[in-house]
Amino acid sequence: MAIAFTFPGQGSQSVGMGKELADNFAEARAVFEEVDDSLGHKLSDIMWNGPEETLTLTANAQPALMAVSVAVMRVLEARGLKLADKVSYVAGHSLGEYSALCAAGTFSVSDTARLLRIRGNAMQAAVPVGEGAMAAIIGLEHCDVDAICSQAATGGVCQIANDNGGGQIVISGSKAAVEQAAALATEKGAKRAIMLPVSAPFHSALMVSAADAMRDALASVQKQSPCVPLVANVLAAPVSDADEIAKLLVEQVTGQVRWRETVEWFAANNVTTLYEIGSGKVLTGLARRIDKTVSGISINTPADIDAALQTLLG
């Protein structure tokens, strides 16, 4: 009957995120101030006041989501929660891996913010706007989508980026190839094939220059083994060695986020509760759809924190 903490990825951001935490908890305010200082501008002002299009920019959304997740963690810790005593594993969806690792002590808050700013800028710069695309395929099995991607890849890069579970798979790559794959998916019986309003083809081979940038950035930052194992995106299995984690974070830039398999791994290894730490409830919803034996609980408001502490600390 183990517990895991999970950390959301891009798409969970919204204007106003973290404001209630900052208004109620000094520990949360300190995290937002540290992130602002490490980036050299008031990201917290964009988070709380927008505009939405500025917050949604990859280079802002990634450190912003991490900041909210870590703010929640610092409040929980200040009220007596020790991660290693109560939680068996951490995991994060894409950029959420960095939030998870910061929470587990691998990276400092400042270093995590800077790493995510580098990651966001590098991913945005990897492919000229308009040359890449992503699409969500709803209602087909992983093997079917994989075959469709292989067929469409004759016209450019096309691969599975996120296996989110619940019949939702996101593909990524060259615009023409992804559009062809979306059309093929509809022909093969997909319920929906939706082109996504994204600025770059994340988690595809087109991101190789961003992977190179992250290899350099991760090599130069101080890191420690996490206090609990990370169930890594590209493995869907736990890892604890800091150098191995850095290698997997580089692979993740061009590789598949295996979230369905991650939740299935939790279920198969006696993890019954996934607490989603930070903005939104995306991962909580996915957990329910992937495996009914796993319950998801989101923590992103003061009331959520109070309820979670009652359960976790008794």
Cα distance between residue 312 and residue 163, in whole Å: 30
Cα distance between residue 190 and residue 39, in whole Å: 42
Cα distance between residue 177 and residue 214, in whole Å: 26
Give the closest residue to 102 by CA, choosing from 64, 59, 73, 60. 73
pLDDT the model gives residue 112: 98
Sign (positive or negative) of CA dihedral 30, 243, 284, 15: positive
Contact 300, 278 (CB under 8 A): yes
**E-assigned strand segments in the chain:** 2-7, 89-92, 132-138, 158-165, 168-174, 192-195, 230-232, 237-239, 271-277, 295-299
> What 8-state DSSP symbol labels residue 301?
S
Burial class, 234, CB count within 10 angstroms (exposed 0-12 / middle 13-18 / buried 19+): buried
Cα distance between residue 227 and residue 241, in whole Å: 10
pLDDT the model gives residue 118: 97
pLDDT the model gives residue 314: 78
Cα distance between residue 202 and residue 306, in whole Å: 36
pTM over 0.85: yes
pLDDT per position in the chain (314 positions), as tens? Answer: 899 999 999 999 999 999 999 999 999 999 999 999 999 999 999 999 999 999 999 999 999 999 999 999 999 999 999 999 999 999 999 999 999 999 999 999 999 999 999 999 999 999 998 899 999 999 999 999 999 999 999 989 999 999 999 899 999 999 999 999 999 999 999 999 999 988 899 999 999 999 999 999 999 999 999 999 999 999 999 999 999 999 999 999 999 999 999 999 999 999 999 999 999 999 999 999 999 999 999 999 999 999 999 999 97
Domains of the chain in start order, with CATH, are 2-126+206-313 (3.40.366.10), 132-198 (3.30.70.250)
pLDDT the model gives residue 1: 86
Which of the residues are catalytic?
94, 203
Cα distance between residue 12 and residue 194, in whole Å: 18
Give the closest residue to 22 by CA, choosing from 4, 49, 40, 41. 49
